[in-house]
Amino acid sequence: MSVSTKHLLRTYCKYVYIAGAGNFWFEDIYRETIWYRIYHVVSFSIYFTMILLENLATLFGRFPEVEKQSALMFAAIHDIILIKTFMLLYYKDPIRKLNNKMATLMEDIEEESITRKQHGKAKWGIIFYTITVYLSLIAFGIESFRKVLFEGAPFYTVVTYLPYYDDASTLADIWRVFFYATWLYMMLPMISADCMPIVHLITMTYKFITLRRHFERIRRAFDGSRGSEARKTLKLGCLQGIKMHQELMFLADEIHRVFGVIMSLQVCESSAVAVLLLLRLALAPYMNLTNALMTYTFVGSLFFLLALNLWNAGEITYQASLLSDSMFYCGWHLCAIHPKPHEDIRRLVLVGCAQAQKPLILKAFGIQDLSYSTFVSVARMTYSIFAVFYQRRE
């Protein structure tokens, strides 16, 4: 099976379709039939109802301190996740067009060794993130079940306004288990919303790597066969590369326009919720094994998702910064000066190099760089807050 950018994007869109978020592929191979639309509307209605009940629990519910903190935390997390999901649905048509352009651009010059690395990076990143998320959710279920057995507390994972905390009826227990099952299934479309920008960031990174390899390849071809025909081939290759670079810059702007809010919300969600979880860890007088596993896996999943966003956005900046060198050393200086300035390969390449030297930096809310250094800053800030409160407790 050919491992290409088109194959990667189509495979991910298939997962998004199965998760119930709709068809984001530009070809109509994942049909949204009437039954699929019913499935989509019913599932999202259940998700929305559960999140609404979480918000009501935060505002009006009467719960013990631990459940009250959980209600506040999950209401904040799920509100942000719901916004990200609705943003994804809002930009559905632009995303389909973006997938079309990213799947077809540079398709004829892709190298299988490069696309395999791209496929592996996206695949294992998403799999590991999904594992950390579900480890956390399972830990929540185990801890709640432990409380039912040894403390006589009701079964609570996500804390909702209904059923009431002191309602010990069988129907109330059924609803609590139903909401837990809903939470488990709800994470499938939510993970698809979280990882959609990541797949496009990884794809964009390898587009720049492929473009650099293109300029290196035409230089090797020129060195191996000098002459008028070689110069003509070099010129056509340079023009093709410069044109592809312009299209890549357009795609980068589209990614920032379509996914910018989602990635920005992810920075806020990961940092804020990690602080809340670590404060809970620092202020707790005692934490058993399942509770600690629940907290650490949750913090780990949030930071890993943040890392996937910021590291891959920073990798785009890095790979784009290397392009000007590959373009400059493609062999243009060995070509004769053309009498017509607008056909002179030297001028074209120098203009292309000047454009490639402009830093390509994605920003959160148009302010904060999405980069390696931002991830380090967020991690330091989170740990500093945790350390301060932990020292105060001591």
Short-list 286, 285, 278, 284, CA closest to 383? 278
Arithmetic mean of pLDDT, 305-312: 92
Tokens 């059924």 — which residue?
174
Please list, residue by residue across 213-244, b when 16 or more beta carbons sit within 10 angstroms of its beta carbon and e when fewer do. Answer: bbbeebbeebeeeeeeebbeebbebbebbbeb
Half-sphere exposure at residue 92, Cβ-oriented, CA atoms within 13 angstroms:
10
175-192 pLDDT, tens per residue? 999 999 999 999 999 999
Half-sphere exposure at residue 253, Cβ-oriented, CA atoms within 13 angstroms:
6
Short-list 138, 370, 168, 393, CA closest to 286? 393
Query: Under DSSP, is residue 168 helix (H, G, I), strand (E, B) or coil?
Result: coil
**How many C-beta atoms surround the C-beta of residue 80 within 10 A?**
18
**45: pLDDT strictly greater than 90:** yes
71 — pLDDT class (breaks 50, 70, 90):
confident
Distance (Å, whole) CA 393 – CA 390: 5
C-alpha dihedral, 307 to 302 to 288 to 171, nearest 10°: -160
Q: Which of the pair, 274 or 105, is modelled with greater confidence?
A: 105
Q: Which two tokens stand for residue 50?
A: 């559960």
Give residue 1's pLDDT. 43
Arithmetic mean of pLDDT, 278-287: 65
**222: pLDDT strictly greater than 90:** no
**317: pLDDT strictly greater than 80:** yes
Distance (Å, whole) CA 241 – CA 108: 12
Short-list 104, 90, 89, 108, CA closest to 251? 104
Distance (Å, whole) CA 43 – CA 35: 12
**247: pLDDT strictly greater than 70:** yes
Give residue 341's pLDDT. 56
Distance (Å, whole) CA 107 – CA 98: 14
Q: Which two tokens stand for residue 341?
A: 């300035």
Q: C-alpha distances in angstroms, 40 versus 35, 181, 322?
A: 9, 17, 43
66 burial (CB, 10 Å; 0-12 / 13-18 / 19+) is: middle
Instruction: Report yes or no: 338 and 260 within 8 Å, Cβ to Cβ.
Output: no
338-364 pLDDT, tens per residue? 656 556 677 788 888 999 999 999 988
Tell me what the pLDDT averaged over the chain comes to. 87
Instruction: Report yes or no: 363 and 309 within 8 Å, Cβ to Cβ.
Output: no
Q: DSSP class of residue 336?
A: P
Torsions phi, psi for 165 (to 5 deg)? -65, -40
**279: pLDDT strictly greater than 50:** yes
Phi-psi region of 293 (alpha: psi -120 to 50; beta: other; left: phi over 0): alpha
